């Protein structure tokens, strides 16, 4: 798992701006830390050693802090000013982190949703829909800890740590050598921990996706399960999935606490080694008091960003895993159905399908196979045939939402030439069609409705629209006899008003009301 995904920087504008601003703030923080160490050394040096054995100038960087800082009033004023500057820098960085995190999550979430919609209904039906739902909701929320906690410390580790090491090198090369030898141990342990965390984070996200998909499937089929008296059966499976998610979550937390303890112990021992070395060298007069104080103040600051990177890595691991899943969706090439030419006006146009064949996802069957039909304005065209032989697939191809493996979909406007869907803008073509699927989604408004109520509401919206083509998939499947008769009459009335109506159905009443009935059949793929 990479600490900074370059795809976030390349594709998400707020992430780029945030990285640049945070790097600048990191440089300012490094300057403030160095000045603070020098001021503390100037203040405490005369107290600890009124007559130092070694001349102490705090190196060439010590010239920034005047010797007058040894006076209590001047030194305290310097220290208060520097502390105030660090507080302002920290507040600014955290505020920007929150704003950038929210902006990045919102932009990435919108891009994933829009791109997933462009991948078509077959991709969503392949099982990726539930995964995308989990990713863009709970999954991407994990990016907030990444931007608020982890990424700032990562950028500080890339700026403050090397700059502070250079300052220590100017003050005392022996202490700098000790720090330079021990700092790389922190990333080494982080890599080892990251290898373990990556697997656990992926397992956690997978468990969460399985639970979401199972729960969504259960809620969708709950009316059927209740009707069959089987609504209590799936409860055990949902509990099992919940337990799996709990175990994955606790495993990630266990690794997080363990790794945090390891990093704390490592950095504490490294700072202690520097302090003990300075203590012995002070006794033998090999280093000045002010220099030793400055190095002691700077040593923890060298390790702090690197240590915080390891501490906050686990808070962002789930978010990075979700971001990786989001970019997998964004990197999936959409299936281009149409071309670049403007779509014709479908009002009064005759729609024709010639030799339409679409392979099933497993590639074993064609459903439909070599379908040919003609849908005229002012008429109802009914598609009939066995379940699974491609009636819904044929409707999706007619809508411009699915590219067929063979055959053409075309429109012939009144007094115009035949125009192939493959040559024109499929999105504008689709906008001229009112589509009512088998299980219409009415959003929040439809949550309290039964399936039959949702079908009637969706059909009412489609009939009330001004779109010239009406495409319906099993519009009467979940209606009682009286409601079915009303819907059939409304569909006939829509056709009589001049609209082109194409409907897939098994209902005898609707078949008898159709002007044209086309049988849709599939066939196995013969491999040679």
Tens-digit pLDDT profile for residues 367-426: 888 889 999 999 999 999 888 888 888 898 888 888 888 888 899 888 788 888 888 888
- The DSSP result for 408-450, as a single string, is EEEEE-TTS--EEGGGB-HHHHHHTEEEE-SS---GGGGTTS-
pLDDT tens digits for range 459-518: 888 888 889 999 998 888 877 788 888 888 999 999 999 999 999 988 888 888 899 999
* CA gap 215, 242 in Å, rounded: 10
Identify which of 37, 27, 19 has the alpha carbon closest to the alpha carbon of residue 82.
37
**Range among 102-116, 154-168, 274-288, 501-515 rated most confident:** 501-515
In this structure, the dihedral spanned by the alpha carbons of residues 72, 74, 75 and 77, taken in order and rounded to 10 degrees, is 110
Tell which residue, 526, 523, 521, has the closest CA to residue 394. 521
The mean pLDDT value for 208-236 works out to 70
Q: What is the mean pLDDT of the chain?
A: 79
Window from 128-142, 174-188, 370-384, 421-435 with minimum mean pLDDT: 128-142
Tell whether the model's pLDDT for residue 167 goes beyond 50. yes
In this predicted structure, the answer to whether residue 51 has a pLDDT above a threshold of 50 is no
By CB neighbour count within 10 A (0-12 exposed, 13-18 middle, 19+ buried), where does 432 fall? buried
Residues 205/322, Cβ–Cβ less than 8 Å: yes
Nearest to 297, CA basis, from 506, 488, 83: 83
Contact 147, 17 (CB under 8 A): no
Instruction: Say if strands 406-412 and 350-357 run parallel, antiparallel, or are unpaired.
Output: antiparallel
> What does the pLDDT read at residue 290?
79
Taking each helix axis as running N to C, give the angle between helix 173-182 and helix 235-283, from 0 to 180 degrees, rounded to the nearest 10.
160
pLDDT confidence of residue 382: 92
pLDDT at 265: 81
- Please check the confidence at residue 3 and state whether its pLDDT lies above 60: yes
What are 191-208's pLDDT values in tens digits?
776 666 666 666 666 766
Q: How confident is the model at residue 187 (pLDDT cuts 50, 70, 90)?
A: confident
pLDDT at 252 over 70: no
Mean pLDDT for 26-51 is 75
- For the cut 60, the answer to whether the pLDDT of residue 62 exceeds it is no
Give me the phi and psi of 309, to 5 degrees please.
-60, -45
**Residue 28 reports pLDDT greater than 80:** yes
Helix (H, G, I), strand (E, B) or coil at 334: coil
Phi and psi at 70, nearest 5°, equal -70, -25
Residue 522's pLDDT band, with cuts at 50, 70 and 90, is confident
> 371 in helix, strand or coil?
strand
pLDDT digits (tens, 9 = 90+) for 327-381: 888 887 776 677 788 888 888 889 999 988 888 877 788 888 888 999 999 999 9
What is residue 70's DSSP assignment? G
Q: How high is the pLDDT of residue 139? A: 74
Q: How far apart are CA 166 and CA 148, in angstroms?
A: 28
* Domains of the chain by start residue, with CATH: 6-330 (1.20.1560.10), 350-524 (3.40.50.300)
Per-residue pLDDT band for 43 (boundaries 50, 70, 90) equals confident
Q: Which long-range contacts (CB under 8 A, 24 or more apart) does 450-454 make?
A: 450/223, 450/478, 451/223, 451/478, 452/478, 452/479, 452/480, 452/483
Between 174 and 223, the higher pLDDT residue: 174
Share of the chain above pLDDT 90, in %: 6
C-beta atoms surrounding 235 within 10 Å: 10
Banded model confidence at residue 70, pLDDT cuts 50, 70, 90: low
């Amino acid at each position: 798992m990479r600490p900074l995904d370059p795809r976030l920087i390349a594709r998400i504008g707020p992430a780029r701006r945030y990285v640049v601003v945070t790097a600048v703030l990191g440089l300012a923080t490094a300057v403030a830390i160095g000045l603070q160490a020098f001021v503390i050394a100037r203040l405490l040096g005369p107290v600890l050693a009124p007559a130092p054995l070694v001349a102490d100038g705090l190196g060439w960087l010590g010239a920034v802090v005047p010797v007058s800082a040894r006076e209590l009033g001047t030194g305290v004023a310097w220290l208060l000013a520097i502390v105030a500057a660090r507080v302002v820098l920290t507040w600014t960085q955290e505020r920007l982190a929150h704003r950038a995190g929210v902006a990045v999550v919102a932009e990435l979430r919108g891009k994933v949703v829009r791109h997933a919609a462009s991948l078509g209904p077959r991709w969503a039906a392949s099982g990726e829909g539930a995964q995308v739902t989990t990713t863009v909701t709970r999954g991407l929320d994990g990016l907030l800890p990444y931007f608020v906690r982890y990424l700032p410390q990562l950028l500080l580790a890339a700026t403050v740590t090397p700059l502070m090491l250079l300052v220590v090198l100017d003050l005392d090369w022996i202490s700098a050598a000790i720090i330079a030898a021990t700092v790389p141990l922190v990333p080494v342990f982080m890599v080892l921990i990251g290898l373990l965390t990556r697997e656990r984070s992926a397992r956690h996200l997978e468990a969460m996706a399985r639970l979401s998909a199972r729960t969504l499937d259960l809620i969708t089929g709950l009316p059927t399960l209740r009707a069959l008296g089987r609504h209590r059966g799936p409860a055990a499976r949902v509990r099992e999935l919940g337990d799996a998610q709990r175990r994955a979550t606790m495993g990630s937390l266990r690794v997080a606490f363990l790794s945090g303890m390891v990093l704390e112990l490592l950095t504490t021992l490294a700072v202690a080694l520097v302090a003990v070395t300075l203590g012995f060298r002070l006794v033998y007069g090999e280093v000045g008091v002010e220099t030793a104080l400055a190095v002691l103040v700077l040593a923890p600051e060298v390790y702090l960003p690197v240590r915080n990177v390891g501490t906050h890595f686990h808070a962002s691991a789930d978010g990075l895993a979700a971001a990786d899943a989001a970019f997998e969706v964004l990197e999936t090439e959409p299936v281009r159905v149409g071309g670049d030419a403007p779509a014709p006006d479908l009002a009064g146009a005759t729609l024709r399908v010639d030799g339409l064949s679409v392979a099933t996802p497993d590639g074993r069957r064609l459903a439909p196979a070599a379908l040919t039909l003609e849908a005229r304005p002012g008429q109802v065209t009914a598609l009939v045939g066995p379940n699974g032989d491609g009636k819904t697939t044929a409707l999706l191809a007619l809508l411009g939402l699915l590219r067929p493996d063979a055959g053409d979909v075309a429109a012939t406007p009144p007094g115009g030439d035949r125009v192939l869907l493959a040559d024109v803008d499929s999105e504008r073509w689709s906008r001229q069609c009112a589509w009512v699927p088998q299980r219409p989604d009415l959003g929040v408004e439809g949550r309290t409705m039964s399936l039959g109520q949702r079908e009637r509401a969706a059909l009412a919206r489609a009939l009330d629209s001004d779109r010239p083509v009406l495409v319906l998939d099993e519009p009467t499947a979940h209606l009682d006899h009286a409601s079915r008769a009303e819907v059939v009459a409304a569909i006939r009335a829509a056709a009589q008003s001049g609209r082109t109506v194409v409907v897939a159905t098994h209902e005898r009443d609707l078949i008898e009301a159709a002007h044209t009935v086309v049988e849709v059949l599939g066939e196995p793929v013969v491999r040679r």
